[in-house]
Structure 1
Amino acid sequence: MVRFALLLCLISSFSYAESPGSFTQSKKIAAQLFQKHPQTIYCQCSYEDKEVNLASCGMQAANPIKRAHLIEWEHIMAAEHFGQQFACWREPLCEDKNGKSFKGRRCCEKKDERFRHVEAELYNLWPEAGVVNQARSNYRFGVLPEQSSYLGCGMKIDKSSRRVEPPDSAKGVVARAYLFMSEHYGLSLSPSQKKLLTHVTHGTCWLTKKH
């Protein structure tokens, strides 16, 4: 947790200034910020360059999965969560070179400068093994019953409810990222989300029942 606290301080110095202008630029900056403390957010795997050391976090079960060995950059508040709050995500406001209308992330990246800054926000961007990033998908955070770990990682993932619960070591970072994104960019959170996240204390206190 000390490592995460130091990283939060460093990231905050960038975040409270203007965020990078693109997701591509932000990933490059994030890679530099994490060079001295290369550890994934949820599973606490160490990594070097872009290669994850699965043995460092007990995830040897993921060895056969190619994507498990690669570092990817995880939006803690998923892109779909904040994207749905932009018209360019919901409505076909863009046209491709053939005149066909489209919407969604690609349209917002093309059309909306504010979206580009939200997408590139460093406070919301953390390294994780690609297989975990993929499994988390755009699922919301919540409280899940006791279940086996995901490939040896303490992350709980429930596909049926489309919910995930991070390990205690990451709960503080998750909560602060969500609340920062909401307050800094005016992004809405449901009452149940806000209640869950504001109960986090020192990165370990998570409400014990669903709301």
Structure 2
Amino acid sequence: MRFLVSILVILQISLADSFATAKTTLIQFLQDNPHYQRDFYCNTPFRWVKNSFQIIPSPSYTPRNRYTKEGKINLRARQIELEHIMPAHTFGKHLACWKRGGRRECANDSLFKKMEGDLQNIVPTIGEINADRGNLPFREAPRRWLLNQYGQCKVYANFKDKEFYPANYSKGWIARSYLYMEKTYKIRLSKTERQLMQRWDKMYPMDKKERDFRNFLRVQKMQKLMRF
């Protein structure tokens, strides 16, 4: 695991100077690679429709709330958003700008923009789940926990205990992203969180999909360096 994280740090897979630029790059990648058009948490298929990625109805995901409190259709349950695996709050809260005024105050901070735009830490997710997860930390689900909050999607947002339980198939990617961010940007993780990520990294090795995406980032990085 240490070797893998060290390689990622050496590559410095931070291809974008801002979150907006990173999203443009990732959107183009997803358009060019249809087999990647499945969301991170539920493995639900989606497709590009006009100017956004829209979810394709599938048994893999059932909205928790089909309608908003105002009785309108919950559009975030129908669309894909690009989310930070490690939340902005986690990688930004130690910065002076964040302490002065949160994310808005950090909008022009060069280090924050670099972290915010790091494609190593950005994935496509269903809007509703992105909203529900928010800044909830990842945790291992308690035994015999009934994961039926989003139909067949094996994730759960525990609002009471302020925890989020991801599916097994995404735990390895989550872990490697957290360990990469910690190593690259000197993020201070708690002992409990670091141990969890180290355990998931060992339990859930990198699959072909994750490996191919890492290779894409590596190639993009090399091309960027050659332009300078």
TM-score by length of 2: 0.73
| Residue 62 to residue 39, structure 1, CA distance change in 2 (3 Å) | farther
Q: Matched residue of 1:178: which SS?
A: helix
Matched letter for residue 55 of structure 1: S
> Counterparts of 2:17 and 2:175 in 1: how far apart (Å)?
24
Alpha-carbon deviations, 1:13-39, whole Å to 9, x = none? xx7344311111111111122231111
Contact 1:46 1:56 (8 Å CA) reproduced: no
Alpha-carbon deviations, 1:42-92, whole Å to 9, x = none? 11111101101131524266655321111101110011111111110012x
Corresponding position of 2:146: 147
Matched letter for residue 57 of structure 1: S
Matched, 1:119 2:120: no
Corresponding position of 2:186: 186
Q: Matched residue of 1:161: which SS?
A: coil
Corresponding position of 1:70: 79
> Counterparts of 1:155 and 1:148 in 2: how far apart (Å)?
6
Deviation at 1:124, TM superposition (A): 0.5
Corresponding position of 1:3: none
Structure 1 outlier segments of 4+, above 4 Å? 60-64
Give the structure with the higher percent helix: 2
Corresponding position of 1:82: 91
Matched, 1:203 2:204: yes
| Residue 105 to residue 61, structure 1, CA distance change in 2 (3 Å) | closer
> Counterparts of 2:63 and 2:77 in 1: how far apart (Å)?
10
Corresponding position of 1:209: none
Identity of aligned residues (%): 28
| Residue 16 to residue 23, structure 1, CA distance change in 2 (3 Å) | same
> Counterparts of 1:148 and 1:182 in 2: how far apart (Å)?
29
Contact 2:13 2:120 (8 Å CA) reproduced: no
Matched, 1:59 2:62: yes
Contact 1:62 1:151 (8 Å CA) reproduced: no
Deviation at 1:150, TM superposition (A): 2.3
> Counterparts of 2:129 and 2:61 in 1: how far apart (Å)?
14
TM-score by length of 1: 0.79
Pick aligned residue for 2:128 from 107, 128, 131: 131
Contact 1:54 1:60 (8 Å CA) reproduced: no
Deviation at 1:170, TM superposition (A): 0.4
Corresponding position of 1:39: 38
Corresponding position of 2:174: 174
Q: Figure out how many residues of one structure are paired with residues of the other and give that number.
A: 180
